[in-house]
Copies of this chain bind each other. A is one copy, B any other.
């Protein structure tokens, strides 16, 4: 097990009706907040009304910024920073999924930075201070509700980049599984794929001596496999929604990756796909994951994939190589069974853009750790997935 440091100060309020804690929590930090949300579905499903009522009851004033898109744009960040400054706001409240939360985090950091917030992503500036961020989660997927990461897209440069800073941990997150009842099946499925992909990146690591963490990874994967289909078929199944929501949080709050050399090649590749094509992140991951698995499966990695097949899919027949292949096939079938696309072609990716994506993903070096991938490797994986 590698040396590590771990800390995660986010306070979680989990369960039905936890929005009742919102006013009290916000008041610990702020009297005036930026209320950030996405495409307006929270108005249709009543979440917006509950959030606004909670703020009003506690006498907290708010300025709204809606319309944050999936794969959130740096433009939304700039607009949020402007609103926070103009209105002297003290906290950014994200009511949404990972895109809204990530946007909120960078608005919070941008507030204290005198340059353009994209500078954080191109390493021209470091985050030195940030407003507090609060979360009302509406989608089980990214884990952003309890971690220090943010991913933002730049439409001008057609880039999508991520960063981490301990200043970006949300102070609190309200996780009400009922708030995900109205998420449509395909988006639910994409969320499940996102959670599972986060776990794969941490599970298929270059070291195998973090036994406890590996078993915990399997716990999250099994949870997705059990409840993903149920949540798609019965959108208001509380047990399924609750387990998936908590799986999303555990999946990327840092507890699974400690002591491990994690991979993240599939994410790096997917970022390039969704930077160019604006594919839903979880969909891109569901497509690429089985192709990545097949590509990196070799003598050195076969035992890890066989372990995955045995412990997660409960497969028992065949030698290590056969088990590994069956486990990968099960993964592909599972995503398909949730109605997710299985090839890049299905989501509109064109052959002539693969070179650029591979180039950018490799960035002149390699990606991944289970097996290091150069530009040519990435290109092969993308071609296989087309």
Interface of A toward B, CB cutoff 8 Å: 1-18, 21, 177, 209-213, 215-216, 218-220, 222-223, 226-227, 238-239, 242-243, 246-247, 250, 255, 258-259
A250 proximity list for chain B (CB < 8 A): 212, 216, 255
Additional A-B contacts beyond A1-B239, A3-B15, A6-B11 (6; CB < 8 A): A5-B21, A209-B239, A209-B243, A211-B239, A212-B219, A212-B246
Is A218 in contact with B215, judged by CB distance below 8 angstroms?
A: yes
Closest to A208 in B: B239
A238 to B7, CA, bound (A): 23
**What would 15 A/B residue contacts be, using CB atoms closer than 8 Å?**
A2-B15, A5-B11, A5-B12, A5-B14, A6-B11, A6-B14, A7-B9, A7-B10, A9-B9, A14-B259, A210-B243, A211-B222, A211-B227, A211-B243, A219-B219
A246 proximity list for chain B (CB < 8 A): 1, 212-213, 258-259
Closest to A212 in B: B223
Is B11 in contact with A4, judged by CB distance below 8 angstroms?
A: no
A239 proximity list for chain B (CB < 8 A): 1, 209, 211
A209 to B240, CA, bound (A): 9
A212 to B221, CA, bound (A): 9
A258 proximity list for chain B (CB < 8 A): 12, 14, 246
Give the interface centre of A12, A210, A212 by most chain B CB atoms within 10 Å: A212
Instruction: State the Cβ distance, A164 to closest chain B Cβ, in Å.
Output: 16
A352 to B213, CA, bound (A): 46
A216 to B253, CA, bound (A): 15
Instruction: State the Cβ distance, A286 to closest chain B Cβ, in Å.
Output: 20
A222 to B216, CA, bound (A): 10
Contact residue among B9, B10, B247 (Cβ-Cβ distance under 8 Å from A212): B247
Instruction: State the Cβ distance, A85 to closest chain B Cβ, in Å.
Output: 30
Instruction: State the Cβ distance, A270 to closest chain B Cβ, in Å.
Output: 25
Give the interface centre of A21, A216, A239 by most chain B CB atoms within 10 Å: A216
Instruction: State the Cβ distance, A262 to closest chain B Cβ, in Å.
Output: 16
A109 to B299, CA, bound (A): 56
